[in-house]
A = this chain, B = another copy of it.
Amino acid sequence: MCRTERIADEPMEPKKISKMLLKRLPLYLSYLKTLPEQIRHISATKIAEALDLGDVLVRKDLAKVSDGGRKKLGYLRDELIRDIEEFLDVNRTVSAVVVGAGKLGQALLDYEGFRRSGLEILAGFDAAPSVRKTVADKPICAMDALEGFCRDHEIAIGIITVPADQAQTVCDRLVGCGIGAIWNFSPAHLNVPEQIVLQNENLAVSVTALKMQLKTR
């Protein structure tokens, strides 16, 4: 087996971090932050109960990001918060643009909460930018300004909120600008080069799945 025959000075492969873990850690973080000030210690079991998860699962997750676990006591809350924040690198801010300044695009431009996650949306772009000049003090620009803006501001994430039939074109242009990730709110399937991170937020898919669970329970 490859694993047992590993050459000694080959670097250890880093602990694998799954997407599932990445989705749970922010939940732990927001739960920990809602706890009353006077609570100093918190156990994996308590977190698991509060969030309807298995206790072993939470324990393993926490062990991946912190070594502050004390038998019988659990974790020091503030230390655990720091460790998760450090792991998730919430203080590193990345820049984004929204393409498509319809209602949804405007809502994302307007949402204050992203800053707490380390996302800063700098501008919106739209084929008809005349409807609004700014949203939440952020400029709504014409599409032909996209490439220049992305390069000048080192945009890392392109957020797509245009209709499905324009999504691939917009996606290609964003990739051409050198962005590293696409956050796709359109219902279209997008083709991206493999080094680009693609995350789909397809509300039509979500609602259909929700309806089905409603029906078949």
Contacts and interface: CB of A to CB of B under 8 A. Distances in A.
Interface of A: 17, 19, 22-23, 25-27, 30-31, 50-52, 88-90, 92, 94, 102-104, 106-107, 110-111, 113-114, 116-119, 156-157, 164, 180-181, 183, 187-189, 191, 195, 197, 199, 201-217
Contacts of A207: 114, 117, 119, 183
A216 B107 contact: no
Nearest to A17: B216
A211 B30 contact: no
29 contacts: A19-B213, A22-B212, A23-B205, A26-B209, A27-B202, A27-B205, A30-B164, A30-B189, A30-B204, A31-B189, A52-B191, A88-B212, A89-B211, A90-B208, A94-B211, A102-B107, A103-B106, A113-B203, A114-B203, A114-B204, A114-B207, A116-B204, A180-B217, A181-B213, A181-B214, A197-B210, A197-B217, A199-B213, A201-B203
B214 A157 contact: yes
Copies of this subunit: 2
Main secondary structure of the interface of A (DSSP, over half): helix
Nearest to A102: B107
Contacts of A102: 107
Given A103-B107, A103-B111, A212-B22, A199 B189 contact: no
A68 B69 CA distance: 56
Contact of A211 (B119, B187, B195, B203): B119
Instruction: Kindly name the residue among A183, A188, A189 whose own CB sees the greatest number of chain B CB atoms within 10 A.
Output: A189
